[in-house]
Structure 1
Amino acid sequence: MAYLVDKKLSIVIPSHNEEKNISYLIDQIRETLEPTGYAYELIFVDDGSRDNTLNELKVNAEIHSNVFYVELSRNFGKDYALKAGIAMASGNAVITMDADLQHPPQMILKMLYHWEEGYDIVYTYREGENPHGKGYQKVTSRLFYKGLNMLSDIKMENGTADFRLIDEKVVKQLKLIDEYEIFFRGIIKWAGYKQIGIPYVPSKRHTGEASYSFAKLVKLAVTTIMAFSARPLYIISMVGLLFSTVAILYIPYVLISYCLGYAVSGWASIIATIAFFGGLQLMLMSVIGIYVGKIFMQSKHRPNYIIRSSNVVIVDNDLIRI
């Protein structure tokens, strides 16, 4: 394999309570990339960790001149941490990956191969089920991607990961995106360019447990679908039209029954009907409310994240240690 040794890579790694994984991950990446001749920088983003992750990053930054860290003021979420790291990146390509070693660093070599072939984006997707995932995570993952593909305007492979390579021309465009509740896996698909997906088998976490709960996964699914499509609004419009039509067709039956002196249905059926349509209206209004809420939050123009400290600044598109 011929490597473009005059190119520089920026590896962005969001980190949340990963104190025992940092040093091991750095060693794994060094073993993978040192033989290639690529220049590279590691940009760790501490996303409000409650353990000694930040101290581990500071120690490794003192040892390795190409290790940089950015500390966020609190836990803003993985995608905002990715955005903070990408904003700092100065390489000819940016690689994003997790800090828990479930994204095998050796896969970077395959990404580089496809990048050299001319692809602008090389993303990964999980091959089969996650052998290390919990039962509910496997189920919710399948439902998430099926629902996303059905209800949104983007199509993604099951198990698409935040383990990807992005060419610098794509990165320049990503840095311009400023939206509330950003979802990079969807943004990457939406951006277009010349893309290729490669399958991978996730490794077992080096240490620690996954921080995504069932509630967080459900919230992610809802916000993601609504961030990439107005289709739910069209669906509830069709549902409303359907039930309105049924209600109109019911009017002649009521009038004929009244004229012929038939007994009117009892209070139980009336209450059941009112409860059903009341619940339906609340459900439809809640969907509209979520969209309105997203518009409200976007209109505030608050920053997506706040940096508390860092050992780096950008000068002329280069990272300078401070």
Structure 2
Amino acid sequence: MKNKPVLYIIIPCYNEEKVLPITAPLFKQEIMKLINRNIISVKSKIMFVNDGSKDQTWNILCELAKKDDCFLGISQSRNRGHQNAVLAGLMESKDQCDITISIDCDGQDDINAMDSMVEEYLKGNEIVYGVRSRRDTDTFFKRFTAESFYKLLNWMGVEVIYNHADYRLISSRVLQEFANYKEVNIFLRGMVPLVGFKSTIVYYERHERIAGESHYPLSKMLSLAFDGITSLSIKPIRMITGVGFVIAVLSFIGVLWSFVEYFIGETVNGWASMTSLICFIGGVQLLCLGILGEYIGKIYLEVKARPRYIISDRTYTKTTICEEENK
């Protein structure tokens, strides 16, 4: 059995002033339960990542850290999105702990599933994915679109875990290797499996949001889905090539047919058919250009290599496990 690992729970926060007073004690209760079970170190912490909140979220996090050294907080210089906030917490904690568990702040993910995640780590798994056992709390539209999204990603060749979001345990060993992935366009649930290492799944039930409102509307969900496809798969480009080839063949056949009709004297002036043909080919061309433009735009962002996150403030002095052991 491994030595008791230092656990950091990574929690991204964006305008969570209503839910933090409720969920912060629940996270503290869970980490104390794991410590009392003697399966994690007493040095384990809860790290909140403030993603440029506009309300009192950061002030609440500072108060939590001031009253209890179990709580840590870092604040991004501006809002950069959920994926970048999770990444910031993972990268900032990878030298300070043995394992991390990332989870949302709203209390929808079952906090008690952390017990099983740590147990699976102690059995030798470096990554433990939290997977929803069912989607009863979702509307039909959200359930249908989410499940279709996972199926679409798998069809596109993206390696994702079905019904897994960003609730997962990752060892520091994996994070050290993951730090070598320098993409600016981040889709963690598709990137983490690329690192490899032994992994497993823990199933849990997802609940209703405890308080406040969701900060992930349909527009952001669609944006995340498109980022996931274009960041990790080139299949859309290959599909464009296939569609272009088919249209080229059909166009060539159409040209031959028009010549035959012309020479046998049965040509008819067909404005409607010509207009339909032009609109169809024009629409396909514009769609293909749009998809190619998305890839070119991502290349543009990657080449600039701007920082994926910037920490403007923190509630603690950053140290490493090695530094603490040498004290």
Residues 97, 291 of structure 1: alpha-carbon distance in 2 compared, 3 angstrom cutoff: same
Alignment of 1:147-162 (within 5 A): 147-157=152-162, 159-162=163-166
Q: 1-side partners of 2:114 and 2:296: how far apart?
A: 41
Paired position in structure 2 for 1:299: 303
Cα pair 2:27 2:46 within 8 Å, conserved: no
Q: 1-side partners of 2:77 and 2:102: how far apart?
A: 21
| Distance apart, 1:21 and its partner CA | 2.4
Q: 2-side partners of 1:5 and 1:25: how far apart?
A: 29
- 1:218-268 alpha-carbon deviations (Å, 9 max, x no partner): 111111111111111111100100111111112221111111111234112
Confirm or deny that 1:112 pairs with 2:113.
no
> Which residue identity lines up with residue 36 of structure 1 in the other structure?
R
Q: 1-side partners of 2:206 and 2:280: how far apart?
A: 45
Q: 2-side partners of 1:219 and 1:32: how far apart?
A: 33
Confirm or deny that 1:27 pairs with 2:25.
yes
2:76 maps to which of 72, 78, 86: 72
Q: RMSD of the alignment, in Å?
A: 1.8
Cα pair 1:94 1:171 within 8 Å, conserved: no
Cα pair 2:12 2:49 within 8 Å, conserved: yes
Alignment of 1:266-285 (within 5 A): 266-285=270-289
Alignment of 1:93-172 (within 5 A): 93-129=99-135, 131-157=136-162, 159-172=163-176
| Distance apart, 1:170 and its partner CA | 0.2
Say how many residue pairs are matched. 316
| Distance apart, 1:173 and its partner CA | 1.3
- 1:169-197 alpha-carbon deviations (Å, 9 max, x no partner): 10111222221221111111222211111
State TM-score, norm by structure 1. 0.93
Confirm or deny that 1:42 pairs with 2:46.
yes
SS in 1 for 2:273: helix
| Distance apart, 1:308 and its partner CA | 2.0
Q: 2-side partners of 1:5 and 1:20: how far apart?
A: 37
1:194 maps to which of 189, 198, 201: 198
Cα pair 1:140 1:217 within 8 Å, conserved: no
> Which residue identity lines up with residue 113 of structure 1 in the other structure?
E
Cα pair 2:113 2:202 within 8 Å, conserved: no
Alignment of 1:154-233 (within 5 A): 154-157=159-162, 159-233=163-237
Cα pair 2:28 2:46 within 8 Å, conserved: no
Cα pair 2:160 2:189 within 8 Å, conserved: no
- Could you list the runs of 5+ residues in structure 2 that have no partner in the other structure? none
State TM-score, norm by structure 2. 0.91
> Which residue identity lines up with residue 121 of structure 2 in the other structure?
W
- Could you list the runs of 5+ residues in structure 1 that have no partner in the other structure? none
| Distance apart, 1:318 and its partner CA | 6.9
Cα pair 2:83 2:188 within 8 Å, conserved: yes
> Which residue identity lines up with residue 91 of structure 1 in the other structure?
C
Q: 2-side partners of 1:134 and 1:285: how far apart?
A: 34
Residues 172, 239 of structure 1: alpha-carbon distance in 2 compared, 3 angstrom cutoff: same
Q: 2-side partners of 1:319 and 1:274: how far apart?
A: 69
Q: 2-side partners of 1:81 and 1:144: how far apart?
A: 22
Cα pair 1:23 1:60 within 8 Å, conserved: no
Cα pair 1:5 1:36 within 8 Å, conserved: no
Cα pair 1:148 1:225 within 8 Å, conserved: yes
2:315 maps to which of 304, 311, 317: 311
Task: Identify which range, 147-156 or 162-171, moves more after superposition.
Answer: 147-156
Q: 2-side partners of 1:148 and 1:219: how far apart?
A: 14
